[in-house]
Each structure stands twice: as C-alpha cells, then as structure tokens.
Structure 1
Amino acid sequence: MPLAPSAKGTVQFGEYKTWYRVTGDLGSERPPVVVVHGGPGSTHDYLLPLAGLAEHGWPVVHYDQLGNGGSTHLRDRGADFWTVDLFLAELDSLLNSLGIADNYVLYGQSWGGLLAARHAAARPAGLRGLVIANSPASYPLWLEEMARLRADLPPGVNETLLRHEAAGTTDSEEYYAAMTPFYEKHVCRLKPWPREYQASFYEVYNDPTVYYTMNGPSEFHVIGTLRDWGVEDCLPDIQVPTLILSGRHDEATPKTVQPYKDLIPESRWEIFEDSSHVPHLEEPELFEKVMTGYLGSL
C-alpha cells in the first residue's frame, strides 16, 4: 500500500523554528500520533517508519527538536538554555501551531518518553493516549543499569571505556571503537544499521551541542544536565491509557522501565523479545500489530 502523502514545513517557536513532517490527513477524525524523538539532540529520522501508521488511518507528525535536524541550531548556547522546560514548551508550541492540541496521541521514544510523560502528567485536555517506548523513568536508574550492562561486555572493553572517561578523552577513536559492542548489543541489533537509524547518528555527529550538554558523550556515560533527572514523581498524575514498550535486550532495562508500569494508573507493558532499543526497526511487523491494536482501543 503506498504511504499517505506527507507535508513538511516549519512552525515558529519564539524566535526559533521547529521543523515538522505530517503524514496523512490532520483533518481526519482519528487523533494524530505525534512522535517525540530521543537524544536529547537526535532527530526524527530513525522513527520515520512510524509514518506507516497513516496507512491504517492515523495521521503521524514527526518533528526535530530545537538544536538539531531541520530545526534551528544554536551551537553557542550553554547548559542554562537547554532545559526540559524548553522542550516541553516547544512541544506545546507545535501542537498549537498545527491545530491539534485538542485531539492527539503522543509517542515518546527514549528521552522522548520521559518528555512525553512529563507533558502527559500536566493532564492536557486534548491528549487521548500515550506511548512510552524504550525509556528509563530516571537517569539515576539508567546509570545504575548501565554499570551492570557495561560489566557484561567482552573482556577489556569496559576497562578501555573507563580509562578514556577518566582521562576526558571520550572523543578518541579508541573510545568510539570500544562503544561499538555495547551499541550492537543494547541499542540496535540489526546489521547493518538501517539507513534511517544511521541518519539520526550523523545528525548528532554534525551538531552534538544538545546531546553533549544534556546527556554526555555516549548512551552509557551520562554526565550532562539530565544525570540526576527523572519523572517518577509525576507518573501517578498521568490519566490517559498508556502503552509501555521495551526490548528484551534494551539498554532501557526492565528495572529502568518498571516505574512506568507501577505508577501510571492505566498502563500495559509490551516487551519485544528479539529487540533492543528500537523495536520499530528490529521487529517491525509485531510493532505495527501492537501499535494499531493500541490505537484502535482508544
């Protein structure tokens, strides 16, 4: 089936611009699925396969968060600028600019899941459903589990990583090479990586301002401003049906995801047995079945 037509553009966010892409018809009766990407500081590219939901009648909105991709880049801004509140305000701005704030579903992946949870906890009147995909409920939990996953890497790998982290040489070729076994085991198990996934990595590489500031030099070495942040405190305030997704081999381990299931009143959790951090790429057919089943139940 051919993909529904898409439209691309930018909306104003204060003095900046947020890039977006709409697949399908925003005027249809079904609520659009707004896709909130990870990072922070990544782009929408690796989540493009979600546009396929438009074939089943749900319009899909992708966007690039400020600082990356097609949105305004601000390489000279410091940590005081790149805040959770900034990205929450950008999401609100997008929903209002596209005229969908009264009827929408949020899909938040990785960091985007924490952002979407915080948004949902404010109980916006137009939010119909929430999907939290491959997201830890807090970065302290994440770091605790990263230490465990790193210890299970092949002999010598973690030692190399730790040596460079201690020396502040995480931009070295040796550090990047040592990152690979972790990424291939817990981030994306497909070989080669899909083009969409590589595209987002290239975008982060081209402008790592947001990623380095808020996260750090790698998925497992979080030394940025988010290192002590989490959303457990607000999860009981979420009042919409919530689908939680994770992979059996995910860097977002069950321990990091469990608070969502425990604390969100109306939630269910689906674990993809053959996936790590990107089930929509690793098990696309099952992913589509799970997502259309959830959306149809709203």
Structure 2
Amino acid sequence: MRIFVFFLLFTIVLYSCQAPAEKQPLAATSYFNTGDTGVQMGGIKMIPVQTPVGTFKVWTKRFGNNPTIKVLLLHGGPAATHEYMECFESFFPEQGFEFYEYDQLGSYYSDQPTDSSLWTTERFVEEVEQVRKALNLDKSNFYLLGHSWGGILALEYALKYQDNLKGLIISNMMSSAPDYGKYADSVLAKQMDPKVLDTIHKLEASKKTNDPKYMELLGTNYYNKHICRLAEWPEPLNRSFKHLNETIYTMMQGPSEFGISGRLAKWDRKADLPKIKVPTLTIGGQFDTMDPEHMKWMSTQVQKGTYLYCPNGSHMSMADDQQTYMTGLIKFIKDVDAGK
C-alpha cells in the first residue's frame, strides 16, 4: 500500500513539474483569422464608391471573424466620424462579434468631395449598399447599426434593401425629423433658462451660429445635458467632434443638435415602419435629444421589434449609460443569431 501511495505521489509531482501546455497564439484562432493576404493594414480597407459625379473611396476597418454575426456601424452627424463609436471595440471582440467601423463619404477618414448634390439620403443609401457588397455581408450575417443620423440612414437602407439584413439596430433616433424638432422645442427647450434660450434663438435668427457664444451656450445648457452627460467627455467623442465636416453637417442637419433645419428637416418615415420585417432593436435614453417614448413606440410598429431603454443615457447612451446599452445590444444580437 505504501509503495502504491509513493508511486501515485511521484506521478503527480512529475506531471506538475512539467511545463504547461503551450497555448495557441491568439493570431491563429478563428476570430483573428480574417483570411487577409498581402500587406496587413490592421483591418483597414478603402472601398471605392460609385456616385453620379465620380468614384470616391470610403474608409472601413474590420475587427474579427464571425460567419454569422457581422455588424456595420453607421455614425451620426451627418459627416461626423466612426471615432466616437470606438467604444464598441471594448465590448464586441470579447463576444466574438465581427464588426466594421466606417466613415461615410465626406467624413474625415474618407474622401471629401465638395459637390453638394452628393449629400442626400438616397445617395448615402446606395453608398451603404456598395460597402455591404465590398465587405461580403448578407442576410445570413449582416447586422446594421445606425446611431443618430446613422439611424435615419439605417432605416432608409432597410426600407429599400432589408432582404440583405439579418438584424437592424436604430440607436437614439426618431422616425420623424419634424417630431424631433417638436420635442426639442416643446420639451427640452422648456428645461433651459429662458434668457439663455432667447439668446440662442436670436443668434439663430440673425444667422450668427458661427459666433463662439452660440456653441458655448449650447454646450453648457444643452449638449452637456442631452448629448453626453459625462463630466469629462470620452476622448474619441471629442476627437469625432473635432473632425466633423461642418459644411455637410449644416447643409443636412442645420447649425446644431438643437432641433433640425437642414435638408433632413421634413424627413418622416413613421408610416413606413410596419414595412420593416427583419428583427429590429430601437434604443432610447431618458435624457436624449430624441424622445425615448417615440423610440419605444417605433419598436411596436415594426414587425419584430424590441426596445432598449437607457435610464441614465442621453444621445450618446453608449457612453453615459454604457453597461445598459452594451448589455442590451449584445443580448439582442445573440438572440437574433440564435433564432429567438
């Protein structure tokens, strides 16, 4: 018996002293094996886009490899950048999601043509379709996530090309620009100091929105309460604001996030929501520039809708109510992937 015990202990010690099995390098795992050949550029791909006035290139960056979950991120603005959406890099890889950051035409990392005829919703929809094809996304794996203006673009894309989609996410965007304007005027404006509001309106009426005082007043009294409520804004968000193409932004949105007055001012797709048949998640924040009740209502109008409410979130709920936002978003994508 003693001999047996000694032999057992010897065997245990022998194996415990051996070097641990070598782990497979991360680069060799399926998630990191994207199949790219040639010079490696960190997943960045400049995609040619055909337009009525010529061919231009847009910037995309790929993360990961997942045959059934591929998420294309559409930033807001119009003409902001992918940068404020870099926070997804802290959540999607650990879930194994393949995803793409993307600067739309006219934005900082993509070509920036100056022909004003390019800045229409219809033209942007065709751009997204060309990007989809170039990235080999299809109805078996393609999730389209649009935030703010990107939500308008995602909804417009779905109304024309939803047969290419597996799932749709409309983040912090209402389905009606006039309703967005009314919410700003009838709800959010009333929460501001009347004297401050009067000064803002006077600057807008006199077309002095380039006056530093205009954005200074909005920053303190509106942006810090309804765009992002964090005491210190995330560096990627500040970087994105710094890189905003103000010419395109003003042309389509107006001078600021305080309502809407550009080419998008009359955009309204409320009546068309029942046409959306793919699984759809709408996301709203309590302190958003957009009415959270409207975004909840949107989820009841599409055929397969889900609503995610961020009680501490503003327009950038992915930053100031991050855990709620990311937990709910990830659950939605996993549920759709599982056929739930």
TM-score (norm 1): 0.93
Correspondence for 1:81 among 118, 136, 139: 118
* Pairing of 1:99-118 with structure 2 (within 5 A): 99-102=136-139, 103-118=141-156
1:257 aligns with 2:295: yes
Amino acid of the residue matched to residue 197 of structure 1?
Answer: L
Task: Return the offset for 1:125.
Answer: 2.6
Task: Return the offset for 1:77.
Answer: 2.0
Amino acid of the residue matched to residue 234 of structure 1?
Answer: D
Partner deviation per Cα, 1:118-142 (whole Å, 9 max, x = no partner): 2112353331111111001111001
Amino acid of the residue matched to residue 91 of structure 1?
Answer: V
Task: Return the offset for 1:101.
Answer: 3.1
Task: Return the offset for 1:284.
Answer: 2.1
Task: Return the offset for 1:262.
Answer: 3.4
Task: Return the offset for 1:71.
Answer: 0.8
C-alpha distance in structure 1 between counterparts of 2:215 and 2:332, whole Å? 38
Give the aligned partner of residue 62 of structure 1.
Answer: 101
C-alpha distance in structure 2 between counterparts of 1:170 and 1:125, whole Å? 42
Task: Return the offset for 1:173.
Answer: 1.2
The structure that has the greater radius of gyration is 2
Task: Return the offset for 1:30.
Answer: 2.2
Correspondence for 2:168 among 114, 126, 130: 130
CA contact (8 A) 1:35 1:107 kept: yes
Equivalent residue of 1:228, what SS?
coil
CA contact (8 A) 1:138 1:256 kept: no
Amino acid of the residue matched to residue 18 of structure 1?
Answer: V
1:198 aligns with 2:217: no
CA contact (8 A) 2:282 2:296 kept: no
CA contact (8 A) 1:275 1:282 kept: yes
Give the aligned partner of residue 203 of structure 2.
Answer: 164
Give the aligned partner of residue 35 of structure 2.
Answer: none
C-alpha distance in structure 1 between counterparts of 2:185 and 2:162, whole Å? 36
Give the aligned partner of residue 288 of structure 1.
Answer: 326
CA contact (8 A) 1:38 1:109 kept: yes
1:9 aligns with 2:49: no
1:91 aligns with 2:128: yes
C-alpha distance in structure 1 between counterparts of 2:111 and 2:273, whole Å? 31
- Farther off after superposition, 281-290 or 153-162: 281-290
Partner deviation per Cα, 1:80-102 (whole Å, 9 max, x = no partner): 33100111011001000111134
Correspondence for 1:22 among 51, 62, 68: 62
Structure 2 runs not aligned, ≥5 long: 1-25, 33-41
1:240 aligns with 2:278: yes
Structure 1 runs not aligned, ≥5 long: none
Question: 1 or 2 for the larger relative contact order (CA 8 Å, sep ≥6)?
Answer: 1
C-alpha distance in structure 2 between counterparts of 1:265 and 1:49, whole Å? 30
Equivalent residue of 1:11, what SS?
strand
C-alpha distance in structure 2 between counterparts of 1:253 and 1:55, whole Å? 32
Equivalent residue of 1:124, what SS?
helix
Alignment root-mean-square deviation, CA: 1.8
Runs of 4+ in structure 1 displaced over 4 angstroms?
A: 2-6
Give the aligned partner of residue 276 of structure 1.
Answer: 314
C-alpha distance in structure 2 between counterparts of 1:264 and 1:145, whole Å? 22
Correspondence for 1:216 among 254, 266, 284: 254
Equivalent residue of 1:225, what SS?
coil
C-alpha distance in structure 1 between counterparts of 2:293 and 2:328, whole Å? 22
TM-score (norm 2): 0.82
Task: Return the offset for 1:151.
Answer: 2.3
Equivalent residue of 1:122, what SS?
helix
C-alpha distance in structure 2 between counterparts of 1:190 and 1:200, whole Å? 16
**Identity fraction in percent:** 28
